[in-house]
A and B are shown apart, each in its own frame.
Chain A
Amino acid sequence: MTSLESIVASQPTPSLDIDRIRADFPILKLKVDGQSLVFLDSAASSQMPQQVIDRLVRYQTTQHANIHRAVHYLSELATAEFEQARHKLQHFINAREDREVIFTSGTTESINLVMHGYGRKFIGPGDEIILTTLEHHSNIVPWQMLAEEKGAKIRVVPINDAGELLIDEYENLFNERTKFVSVMHVSNALGSINPVKQMIEFAHARGVPVLIDGAQAAPHMKIDVQDLGCDFYVFSGHKMCGPTGIGILYGKADILERMQPFKGGGDMILSVTFEKTIYNTIPQKFEAGTPPIAAAIGFGAAVDYLSAISLEAIAAHEHALLNYATEQMRLLPGVHIVGNAALKAAVLSFVVEGVHPHDIGTLLNQQGVAVRTGHHCAQPVMQRFKIPATSRASFAFYNTMDEVDTLIEAISSAQKVFA
């Protein structure tokens, strides 16, 4: 039994009223080609409950104006709602202060912000940055750009055949040139949950700051940035029932203060003359220009929605879905699960002998089942397993055991087409 399973088994887990939850998501009632939609692509982008949709409508209908600018009623109201959303996010991840939460356009921009704001200031020629084989392209390419610009070096933590990071190898990569670690919390391609707390402790003992890409973790488990101890934690709204175009960068206040700005513009300054510009304090220093105000407020509503259900209950339900789907998929001859980490989030990547993932995707769609096929923006993972692509079913708390059955039947009937 894995430690997560034992936690799940030993604690009375609040159970989900799945019918009531599904009623909150209007899109789940959709028919695709006459079939009920079975949405198993939440790892790419999750669906939005009516509560969040309503919040966006309410903001746009009765509260919208530009923030931080004017003294009139609407501007003050919009500013208060925007800052309230920041406060909700601060509370959601247990950051110490609101100013440690920077709104960005999403995970990708958050990582790029740290690359520009921290990396370009503090990483130099010959310095080393540690990444892992599992990383999404968004946590590889910015660091490669930095390495190329500065003459720095990327070191990569390998994985085993189950898709788990080799922690001994990680520890062996450290030396006096190691200046930064950037690692994902949960793998989007395989579902592996990485032992980030242990990795952070090891890096900190050597004075190396750590960024955690939580895009696939924040929607599925309780995140406590103080408990983790990470220097940066980043994630997106649209993978956790919020709108697209919004995400956050959590950073420890003292590090954020030492960083240089990423984008220049309005709101990020205290005063501007052609001789000298004085930058604003955090978080505004990193929020140049008019932010996606509605999206930020919608993100706040989304974390309210998830918190009301409870992340513990969400994790337990998704874990049950994953276990059942894994069990059922292993019974299908010719179907192989890619990524069998002992600790996994509800992501099931698989390949079917003799059938290309793209054909699986099209044939599953015919049954109303939405899965993702391709390299999942994680080509190094595909290279590691010597496959061009996988099909990936990813589960959210609004999915049901019946939908797992539909998935399994659809794979089985796709195999018959190619038999």
Chain B
Amino acid sequence: MHSKSLYQEVILDHNRKPRNYGTLEHSNHHAVGHNPLCGDRLEIALNLDGQNIDGIAFHGESCAICKASASMMTSVVKGKTRSDAEILIQEFRDMALGKLDPSGEHHLGRLTVFAGVRDLPTRVKCAILPWHTLHAALNSVNSISTEAADDPVHASVDSAS
């Protein structure tokens, strides 16, 4: 896939006008994600009402791919249950790594606009960072890094701060 098709209008739009950008008045889960290689930094706050993601917001300094990914992610998971969000996290991650066929069966919907990152290995982390950070927030891990020794998706629970 040509990198040109990664910068589609929907991604550019979410970068220009990110949804759920800012902070939450009431939140009970929080995490910060870092990509030390490019200096990206993303904070996610969310409010879990029982198992339900009641509210979610993000802010930080990042590239367009990361910001659009965070914007679309927060729009999609708002109102969903924690376990639905975890399924999406896994599916998004698999898609970005080329392990999930975007034309196959999944729950990603229009998040498949990010499928192209699988051909840009250096940009995979940009797209995945918000999802890693969401996973960490859901599991109340305060800080994650894309350069952690282990895959944060699997390691975050026991590698708390």
Contacts and interface: CB of A to CB of B under 8 A. Distances in A.
B3 A374 contact: no
A382 B4 CA distance: 29
Nearest to A358: B63
A365 B39 CA distance: 20
A33 to B, nearest CB: 7
B57 interface: no
Contact of A356 (B2, B6, B7, B63): B63
B61 interface: yes
Interface string A62-90: 00000000000000000000000000000
Nearest to A361: B122
Given A356-B63, A356-B64, A358-B123, A363 B3 contact: yes
A317 interface: no
Interface string B37-52: 1111100000000000
Nearest to A34: B2
Interface in B1-53: 2-4, 6-7, 12, 15-16, 37-41
B3 A366 contact: yes
B58 to A, nearest CB: 16
A378 to B, nearest CB: 12
B3 A417 contact: no
B12 A366 contact: no
A389 B120 contact: no
Contacts of B62: 356
Interface string A357-384: 1110011011000000111000000100
B65 interface: yes
A355 B64 contact: yes
Contacts of A389: 38-39
B126 interface: yes
Contacts of A359: 7, 63-65
A412 to B, nearest CB: 15
A362 B123 CA distance: 8
Given A358-B63, A359-B63, A388 B39 contact: yes
B7 A417 contact: yes
Contacts of A388: 38-41, 61
Interface size classification for chain B: 20 to 34
Contacts of A417: 7, 12
Given A356-B62, A359-B64, A362-B120, A373 B3 contact: no
A325 B150 CA distance: 42
Given A33-B2, A358-B126, A374 B64 contact: no
Contacts of B2: 33, 366
A362 B3 contact: yes
A366 B16 CA distance: 21
A32 to B, nearest CB: 11
A357 B122 CA distance: 13
A274 interface: no
A374 B38 contact: yes
A357 B35 CA distance: 14
A418 B4 contact: no
Contacts of B4: 366
B12 A418 contact: yes
A264 B146 CA distance: 36
Interface string A18-29: 000000000000
A357 B61 CA distance: 12
A373 B6 contact: no
Contacts of B38: 357-358, 373-375, 388-389
Nearest to B16: A418
Contacts of B16: 418
A374 B125 CA distance: 14
Contacts of B61: 388
Nearest to A389: B39
Contacts of B64: 355-356, 359, 418
Given A356-B63, A358-B38, A363-B7, 19 more contacts: A33-B3, A357-B38, A357-B63, A358-B63, A358-B123, A359-B63, A359-B64, A359-B65, A362-B3, A366-B2, A373-B38, A374-B37, A375-B39, A382-B39, A388-B39, A388-B41, A389-B38, A418-B12, A418-B16
16 contacts: A356-B63, A357-B38, A358-B40, A358-B63, A359-B63, A362-B7, A373-B38, A374-B38, A374-B39, A375-B38, A388-B61, A389-B39, A417-B7, A417-B12, A418-B12, A418-B16
3 closest Cβ pairs, A-B complex: A388-B39, A356-B63, A358-B63
